[in-house]
Amino acid sequence: MLITTSYGEITRFDLSRKIAGRGRYWTTAYLLDKMMIDTGCAHTAEELDHSLMGTRINKIINTHSHEDHFGANAYLKKRNPEIDIYAHPSATKVLANPDKYQPLHLYRRLFWGQPEPSDAKPLDHNAVIETENYRFQVIHTPGHSPDHLCLYEPNQEWLFTGDLFVGGKDRALRAGCDIWQLIESLKLITDLPARQMFPNSARVRQVPAVHLQNKIDYLEEMGEKVLTLDQQGKGVGEIARSLFGGAMLVELVTLGHFTRRRLVLSYLGRNHEK
Ligand SMILES: [Zn+2]
């Protein structure tokens, strides 16, 4: 499934695989000035290409190496071999060989699919990406993943935040995420003068600093509570239940890859990948 929304010069694509009549676990890609920021998942690659209606894109920037962000790279590159693909230096090997470096859990295969390999050029902190009309500053923002990038356009005051900012109050976390690093990255982008934020796991926000600060305050408050309960000798499961409530469907669907327990473990520095 694909839903297109325009924000002036920017087009947002919300993408998901249709299962039992409705879209599940949506992901997002953006298009502006013949550049795509992320390309969604493998299952929606053809649909995304179709909706571009012949727009000859020339650049793809992947915010990070999760499979729901670079799934159509290879498909679009086959349509136009002149496309340049960019990602953080440590993401490029994952993009080049996803089967080896990112074998997928069953739920990830089902909802998003394993992307075909794609070759990306390395893009590091403080690099500048130019399109015909805009200049984007590249900001390394680890936490959600070690290879996560945000893009900032200072003249337009646009902030593209990938999966760094997610909507709502987090009650669970994915394996491998580093919550303290994520908070530091949120602080880094909160300092930028921005009027619009374009996330991949939340709706578009005006005046991003307010939303970012609220998120930081919430995550820091929960962090303090986790550490206090840990010092009192409470177990991980008990802390998860008391701070983040009852069991969530996503914990079952992801077979423990995305859970309340992971969020607690990350605050305690123990959320290692599995
Ligand atoms: Zn992600």
Residue 73, SS3? helix
pLDDT-derived band of residue 274, with 50, 70 and 90 as boundaries? Answer: low
CA of 233 to the centre of ligand 1 (A): 32
- Distance in angstroms (rounded) separating the CA atoms of residues 3 and 13: 6
> What percent of the chain has pLDDT above 70?
99
Mean pLDDT for the stretch of residues 111-131: 95
User: Is the confidence at residue 20, as pLDDT, over 90?
Assistant: no
Q: Strands 59-61 and 84-87, how do they pair?
A: parallel
CA of 145 to the centre of ligand 1 (A): 7
User: Is the confidence at residue 273, as pLDDT, over 70?
Assistant: no
0.85 surpassed by pTM: yes
Task: List the Cα angle 124/125/129 in 5-degree steps.
Answer: 70
CA of 33 to the centre of ligand 1 (A): 24
Contacts of 244 (CB under 8 A, 6+ apart): 171, 172, 260, 263, 264
Digit-coded pLDDT (tens) for 190-221: 999 999 999 998 999 999 999 999 999 999 99
pLDDT-derived band of residue 85, with 50, 70 and 90 as boundaries? Answer: very high
- Distance in angstroms (rounded) separating the CA atoms of residues 79 and 103: 26
CA of 64 to the centre of ligand 1 (A): 7
> Do the beta carbons of residue 15 and residue 24 sit within 8 Å?
no
User: Is the confidence at residue 10, as pLDDT, over 70?
Assistant: yes
CA of 162 to the centre of ligand 1 (A): 7
CA of 127 to the centre of ligand 1 (A): 21
CA of 234 to the centre of ligand 1 (A): 30
Q: Strands 2-7 and 10-19, how do they pair?
A: antiparallel
CA of 66 to the centre of ligand 1 (A): 5
Residues facing residue 27 across a β-bridge: 15
CA of 251 to the centre of ligand 1 (A): 16
> What does the pLDDT read at residue 121?
98
- Distance in angstroms (rounded) separating the CA atoms of residues 264 and 271: 8
Q: Identify the weakest region by mean pLDDT among 65-69, 135-139, 254-258, 267-271.
A: 254-258
Calculate the alpha carbon distances from 184 to 40, 82, 152, 198, 207 in Å. 26, 36, 17, 19, 19
User: Which one-letter amino acid corresponds to residue 128?
Assistant: V
Digit-coded pLDDT (tens) for 51-82: 998 889 999 999 999 999 999 999 999 999 99
Highest mean pLDDT among 100-104, 150-154, 172-176, 268-272: 150-154
CA of 21 to the centre of ligand 1 (A): 25
CA of 231 to the centre of ligand 1 (A): 31
User: Is the confidence at residue 158, as pLDDT, over 90?
Assistant: yes
CA of 163 to the centre of ligand 1 (A): 5
